[in-house]
């Protein structure tokens, strides 16, 4: 009689899912593998991502008690510390063009952060830039998220809300977008586990970088109530389970040439064999 052998479980290449990791995996598996498995972070950043990071840094300082002027300056210094090597200048190639692009980035940042801080939303803040990980019942991998703010939920005693900031070129169509809801659920589980309190809402403030010609507000608020999106909880669980199953099987990581951000880069990685398959 043959002795029964225990089936080996394939070790997963990552320890947790985050919203950015999941989106990268769905968009472009090869560049995802490079960044989240091999931990290679050499892809230049776009000006928009740098402006967004500077804005988040300024708001982190502001909500931790810094004066507006101090927070704005620190965000500007953040941009100036980014070297040319780290930036994707697009069609700007000459030194003059790159200087002009940097000047434009600084103007957009200063304008956007001043729009936000002119009348900043009022909250009873519990936590700022809250980093946390959580185990989700039924899912094999934990989830990780950073919440810009965790605040007391107005009108809902004993509950908390999660606040997210985005610096954008144009406003989104609405908070019912699947990407908003997916991000909201990563934050829901991590904040719930960290604070042990019921989480009521996910609030997104979009701050438009360029001034509206018609005088409309530069800040737009979207509110997602967790109790009203039970279908998205089911979608979230199914998507993360299926994505994890994909990781568990033998597979080749292929490029996505149509990816508008990293398509060409992923093709080069695949063509030159620069990432382990």
Which residues, at least 6 apart from 270, have a Cβ–Cβ distance to it below 8 Å?
30, 254, 255
User: How many residues would you count in the chain?
Assistant: 277
Q: For residue 186, what pLDDT band results from cuts at 50, 70 and 90?
A: very high
Q: What is the pLDDT of residues 22-35, one digit of tens each?
A: 999 998 888 898 99
- pLDDT of residue 265 exceeding 80, the answer is no
Residue with the two structure tokens 């080069």:
268
- pLDDT of residue 3 exceeding 70, the answer is no
Q: What is the pLDDT of residues 199-224, one digit of tens each?
A: 999 999 999 998 988 889 999 999 99
pLDDT top residue among 253 and 200: 200
pLDDT of res. 269: 58
**Cα(10)–Cα(21) distance, integer angstroms:** 20
The Cβ of residue 29 has, within 10 Å, a number of other Cβ atoms equal to 19
Q: What is the pLDDT of residues 136-165, one digit of tens each?
A: 999 999 999 999 999 999 999 999 999 999
Quick check: 33 and 246 in contact, CB under 8 A?
Answer: no
Q: Which of 72, 79, 39 is nearest to 58 (CA)?
A: 72
* Helix intervals (H) in 64-177: 68-81, 95-118
Domains and CATH numbers, the chain: 46-120 (no CATH), 125-245 (3.90.320.10)
- pLDDT of residue 17 exceeding 50, the answer is yes
pLDDT top residue among 55 and 93: 55
């Amino acid at each position: 009689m043959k002795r029964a052998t225990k089936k080996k479980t394939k070790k997963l290449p990552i320890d947790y899912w985050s919203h950015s990791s999941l989106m990268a995996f769905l968009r472009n598996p090869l560049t995802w593998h490079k960044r989240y498995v091999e931990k290679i972070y050499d892809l230049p950043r776009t000006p928009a991502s740098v402006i967004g990071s500077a804005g988040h840094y300024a708001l982190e300082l502001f909500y931790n008690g810094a004066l507006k002027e101090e927070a704005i300056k620190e965000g500007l210094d953040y941009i100036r510390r980014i070297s040319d090597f780290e930036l994707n200048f697009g069609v700007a190639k000459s030194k003059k063009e790159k200087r002009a692009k940097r000047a434009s980035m600084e103007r957009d940042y200063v304008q956007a952060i001043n729009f936000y801080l002119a009348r900043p939303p009022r909250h009873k803040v519990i936590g700022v830039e809250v980093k946390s990980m959580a185990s989700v019942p039924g899912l094999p991998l934990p989830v990780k998220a950073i919440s810009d703010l965790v605040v007391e939920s107005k009108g809902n005693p004993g509950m908390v809300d999660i606040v997210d900031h985005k610096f954008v070129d144009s406003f989104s169509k609405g908070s019912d977008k699947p990407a908003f809801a997916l991000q909201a659920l990563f934050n829901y589980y991590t904040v719930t586990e960290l604070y042990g309190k019921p989480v009521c809402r996910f609030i997104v403030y979009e701050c438009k970088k360029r001034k509206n010609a018609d005088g409309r507000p530069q800040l737009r608020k979207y509110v997602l109530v967790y109790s009203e999106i039970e279908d998205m909880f089911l979608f979230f669980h199914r998507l993360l389970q299926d994505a994890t199953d994909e990781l568990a099987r033998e597979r080749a990581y292929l490029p996505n040439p149509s990816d508008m951000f990293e398509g060409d880069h992923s093709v080069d990685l695949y063509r030159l064999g620069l990432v382990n398959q």
